[in-house]
Amino acid sequence: MRLPGLGTWKVLSNHLLLRWSFSSSHMHLLPPDLLPPEVCSLLNPAAIYANNEISLRDVEVYGFDYDYTLAQYADALHPEIFSAARDILIEHYKYPEGIRKYDYDPSFAIRGLHYDIQKSLLMKIDAFHYVQLGTAYRGLQPVPDEEVIDLYGGTQHIPLYQMSGFYGKGPSIKQFMDIFSLPEMALLSCVVDHFLGHGLEFDQAHLYKDVTDAIRDVHVKGLMYQWIERDMEKYILRGDETFAVLSRLVAHGKQLFLITNSPFSFVDKGMRHMVGPDWRQLFDVVIVQADKPSFFTDRRKPFRKLDEKGSLHWDRITRLEKGKIYRQGNLYDFLRLTEWRGPRVLYFGDHLYSDLADLMLRHGWRTGAIIPELEREIRIINTEQYMHSLTWQQALTGLLERMQTYQDAESQQVLAAWMKERQELRCITKALFNAQFGSIFRTFHNPTYFSRRLVRFSDLYMASLSCLLNYRVDFTFYPRRTPLQHEAPLWMDQLCTGCMKTPFLGDMAHIR
């Protein structure tokens, strides 16, 4: 590719064309001084990442959710949930037998996607409510970008009123926020795919509700609990690390509590497996079947005490005792009885809405989000392929921004080629994470809607609770000062926290 004969562009060609490849298939030709070896593997998958400054020295009370927080589950659980819900649809909701041919595909969906019920559209939305083009699916088939734009009145933007529900449930759009929603999204897409593929008429709202109810039945009927209880070695991960975290906190004088929606018998068996028969002695308060998120907002439900067999007691609860088990209740009574308030409490959960949102925004607790996908995403970010792709994307973006002032035909041809290559690189980078939807944290360049909620509702986030073992109990987490757009005018300056060298910036200073 030949650059126009402009003085400024000659400067660029000396630095770029002789040292960089314009082809994404030759990204390995990027020079060492552009991408130093130490740039890769900068991120630690076992690290804790801070959205807000927080000192563990100030935290006296630690709270935990159970599922996907204290108990991490293997991905092998998802096909079981999918198959059971699929069979419920066929046998109890009388859906077509042909649906049984579908199996769970773990590579299809990612957490944080939105589903437009009336349009049967599963899609990824960014922090500004724009659909990321190329990530909209009806059933198992991608929807062309032009059709997506047409469906929303000539724009990629989803109006706020459709998405403004506090718990991710707008009037016509649902956001899938927890890890258990992965098999739900897969089943929903498979059922829609079958109906469309066979030309069957259906009501989108009825289909969505039936699939959601079938997934709910798997939980309500206790099927998932039975699978896990039968083979805890298979389904529960990092149990020894959970025990180490809890024991360490207690040894340093911290108070612990558990608030979970799961039933006592299930939690008891899981905790015995991970921690041992005396697990309740580690916790000052244990609450099961809490019915979050209404636990945080509904003042009407009182606490009920359970005995060892899970039977309810009738006596009024005037204090929450260590070693005892309580059911339901509400946060307001919890705060009154424990006097655990404000930033000295740190609560961990995996669901940004049901576990964390109310606690941070309404009650001032510190919050920690457990994001298991973080470990895999960081490992991808640390690869040379990702770093090379991102580096060249940023370089192309900077060139496009600065050179767009040249309007001659030759310049416009070069700009068009750069634009095309940039889009190709973005698609390649997206596919590194997930072929259909990309990363759960980013669209091509903006944070996802999921990321926006993660930043708003959590002080800390990490791949698993065991990450706490890598830090002292008095450690202070400092969020990185990420530059605002007006603070970092040059794209390349932002890469790798200043590690990236930019050999041509000095020569470009006169056109900035």
CA distances from 407 to 9, 99, 326, 412, 507 (A): 13, 56, 71, 6, 22
Q: Residue 149 in contact with residue 155, Cβ under 8 Å?
A: yes
Annotated binding residues for Mg(2+), written as ranges, equal 65, 350
Bridge pairing between strands 114-116 and 173-175? antiparallel
Q: In what order do the strands lie in the sheet with 141-142?
A: 141-142, 131-138, 121-125, 114-116, 173-175
The CA-based angle 64-67-69, given to 5 degrees, is: 45
Say which residues have a Cβ less than 8 Å from residue 397's Cβ, sequence separation at least 6. 422, 491
Of the residues 33, 67, 116, 298, which is catalytic? 67
Which tokens belong to 132?
């990321």
Is residue 213 annotated as a catalytic residue, yes or no?
A: no
Number of H helices, E strands in the chain: 17, 18
Annotated binding residues for GMP, written as ranges, equal 67
Determine the Cα–Cα distance for residues 224 and 494; give it in Å rounded to an integer: 45
Backbone angles phi, psi at 312, to 5 degrees: -80, 140
Say which residues have a Cβ less than 8 Å from residue 501's Cβ, sequence separation at least 6. 33, 34, 36
Is residue 493 annotated as a catalytic residue, yes or no?
A: no
Going by C-alpha positions, the residue among 66, 43, 77 that lies closest to residue 376 is 43
Annotated binding residues, written as ranges, equal 65, 67, 350
Determine the Cα–Cα distance for residues 144 and 114; give it in Å rounded to an integer: 17
Say which residues have a Cβ less than 8 Å from residue 226's Cβ, sequence separation at least 6. none
Q: Residue 450 in contact with residue 374, Cβ under 8 Å?
A: no
Of the residues 58, 65, 193, 474, which is catalytic? 65
Greatest alpha-carbon span in the chain: 88
Helices (H), 17-164: 77-91, 145-151, 160-163
Cis peptide before 293 (omega within 30 of 0): yes
Q: How many CB atoms lie within 10 A of CB 260?
A: 23
SS3 content of the chain, % helix, strand, coil (to 5): 45, 15, 40
Determine the Cα–Cα distance for residues 481 and 479; give it in Å rounded to an integer: 6
Annotated catalytic residues are 65, 67
